[in-house]
Structure 1
Amino acid sequence: MKRSKGIFLVMTGALFWGIGGTVSKKLFQDFDIGVDWLVTTRLLIAGLLLLSIQLFQKGPSQIFDVWKSKQAAVRLIIFGLFGMLAVQYTYMASIEQGNAAVATLLQYLAPVMIIFYLVIRKKNRLTRKDIVTVSLSLIGCFFLLTNGSVAQLSVPASAIVWGILSGAALAFYTLYAIPLLKTYDSLVIVGWAMIIGGIALSFVHPPWQMDFKSLPLEAYGYLIFVIVFGTMIAFWFYIASLEALPPEESSLLGSIEPLAAVLTTVFWLNDPFGVFQWVGTACIIGMILFLALSKESARIPTKQEVPLRVS
């Protein structure tokens, strides 16, 4: 029963993450909601909800302990600004400029960037498995972004730039958050990081600066899904699943996230997706599965192994 519950939680959380990106695109294109406002609002509300869950489950001491250490507090602020906020904003900007499918798949380049970082820093040697991982990601990206023709990109160049930056930001916070997660609860770190990022972006676009009366009821439904289901519940379910499943299995099951983003983009928003783009998608998802199934890949923290998902 415990294992079945863990599988349900991780797959539900991954589905919410994948679908949440597509719903965000719907908000951008049909309701003229800006990236700045959505990211600010999403971070603040989801962060408060996650900390509220932690408060209810374990009490106030668990929430505020991280601020008692100056070193941990500084690391948390840096993580909130250059990790959580950076990933959230670049990911949403990539969706707004292109689509959720391409943005999500480009974000999954993070493990490859981590491989290069560790090799350059001489912390790891390049192995055959690393070469397979890099090869799958590069081939996948080529087909995904060109649909087999170098003369024309499948999405605007700006969407590709934002997507690659999202992968780089994800690689940064995956590595940077490890010391915090060894000492403090994941919900606490994720919750505070979201609030820090949301407060910082509020100076650019305050969340109250929105013509709420002009939004139809449908838009509010999409907003609730993105903030509550696609962010707060997705994080909560994924972290809860780690109590019943090993990280490797959670990572494997969590790979349905990009597939959910692709399918909802193609069949719900009716975005065109060519044959070669499906080939590219298969290569990138294959890379994710390869990392999850490879015992040696445990030395490379994947996005699921460090439960700080940003989609």
Structure 2
Amino acid sequence: MEQKKKETLGTVMAVCGGICWGFSGCCGQFLFETRGAKAPWLVALRLLFAGLIMIVMGFALHGKRNLDVLKKKADLLRLLIFAFCGISLCQFTYFMAIEASNAGTATVLQYLSPILILSAVCIKEKRRPVGLELGAIGLSLLGTFVLGTHGNIHTFYITGSALFWGLAAAVSAVLYNMLPGSLILRYDIYQVLGFGMFFGGVLMCMIFRPWEYELIWDGGTWGALVSVIVIGTAIAFGLYLQGVSMIGPLKGSILASVEPLSAVIISFFWLGTPFVMPDFLGFGMILGAVLLLTAAQGRR
């Protein structure tokens, strides 16, 4: 009975973490549509301050050992590559996709990344995708087609920039997942993500100078910005990772699909994003492909 309670709590925590991620994307859409914010401004601030929060959490958990990831030159170099080419690029393309479309569409398109990771693994292992893997690839391609054209090959219902940034977000999510390599195994997630976000935020601030942007500052702006930084990072990662530690990574990866679902639902009801049936059909196909791929990984 105790194990069942633990699994139930872990499931709830993992789901809540995914919902927090979806909600933070919708907060970004809110800032873009109603407050005049731009993606580079938001990404720079999010990475910088979210990184600082996670670094503080790392020190609270590990004390001085939180600095271990910075002591070896090889690990520091890999961390910097992850910070600049992984997490910064991933966040930038994702919020650019939201700015070009909406949180739901951007998040679902980013969830094509497991299919791309599968392709990379097949190339590395010099093999062809088989069984459920083939089904996942076919379903993801069909879902992207339906989302973009609504089934009419002569008309595009998604802008070129939205499709470009959405697919770029999927590609950068692959880099985000693969670049840390052994760092994730040898150091705590708060060390790798905390310093990765912070270094990425410093670089983004140097490039885009967020203090020079003009936008509407009011309670809504502050609330959405804090939500992106705190709820979408510290709380989301904390809940999700704790939940996964209770239920295991396979079930956790399935439950993570609640992120795009929550982004679609929240943007529809809160922000009034106009989705139609072909959109939901495309969303369902892409998420179905992710679930198929997860099932294939479970069998392997």
TM-score class normalised by the smaller sequence: over 0.9
Partner of 2:261: 259
- CA gap of 1:145–1:297, structure 2 versus 1, over 3 A, is farther
Residue of structure 1 aligned with 2:20, choices 9, 16, 23: 16
- CA gap of 1:268–1:149, structure 2 versus 1, over 3 A, is farther
5 Å-filtered alignment, 1:10-159, equals 10-61=14-65, 63-159=66-162
Contact 2:257 2:287 in 1 (8 A): yes
Partner of 2:293: 291
Partner of 1:308: none
Partner of 2:196: 193
**Partner SS state of residue 287, structure 1:** helix
Partner of 2:243: 241
- CA gap of 1:152–1:269, structure 2 versus 1, over 3 A, is farther
**Partner SS state of residue 208, structure 1:** helix
Within 1, Cα distance between the matches of 2:252 and 2:120? 24
**Partner SS state of residue 203, structure 1:** helix
Within 2, Cα distance between the matches of 1:250 and 1:23? 24
Contact 1:43 1:198 in 2 (8 A): yes
User: Which of the pair is proportionally richer in helix?
Assistant: 2
**Partner SS state of residue 178, structure 1:** coil
CA shift for structure 1 position 210: 4.7
Partner of 1:177: 180
Contact 1:28 1:96 in 2 (8 A): yes
Identity over aligned residues, as a percent?
33
Tell me the alpha carbon deviations over residues 240-285 of structure 1, each in whole angstroms, 9 at most, x when there is no partner.
2222111011111111111111112222222221211111111111
Q: How many residues align?
A: 296
CA shift for structure 1 position 231: 2.0
Q: Which runs of 5+ in 2 are unaligned?
A: none
CA shift for structure 1 position 232: 2.0
Within 2, Cα distance between the matches of 1:248 and 1:137? 20
Contact 1:180 1:189 in 2 (8 A): yes
Contact 2:250 2:298 in 1 (8 A): no
Contact 2:81 2:179 in 1 (8 A): no
Partner of 2:7: 3
Contact 1:147 1:274 in 2 (8 A): no
Give the letter aligned to residue 124 of structure 2: R
CA shift for structure 1 position 209: 3.3
Partner of 1:305: none
Normalised TM-score (structure 1) = 0.90
Contact 1:17 1:231 in 2 (8 A): yes
Contact 1:36 1:204 in 2 (8 A): no
CA shift for structure 1 position 124: 4.4
Partner of 2:274: 272
Normalised TM-score (structure 2) = 0.93
Contact 2:86 2:173 in 1 (8 A): yes
CA shift for structure 1 position 123: 4.8
Larger mean CA deviation between 270-279 and 67-76 belongs to 270-279
Within 2, Cα distance between the matches of 1:59 and 1:99? 40
Contact 2:144 2:286 in 1 (8 A): yes
Partner of 2:217: 215
Within 1, Cα distance between the matches of 2:204 and 2:43? 8
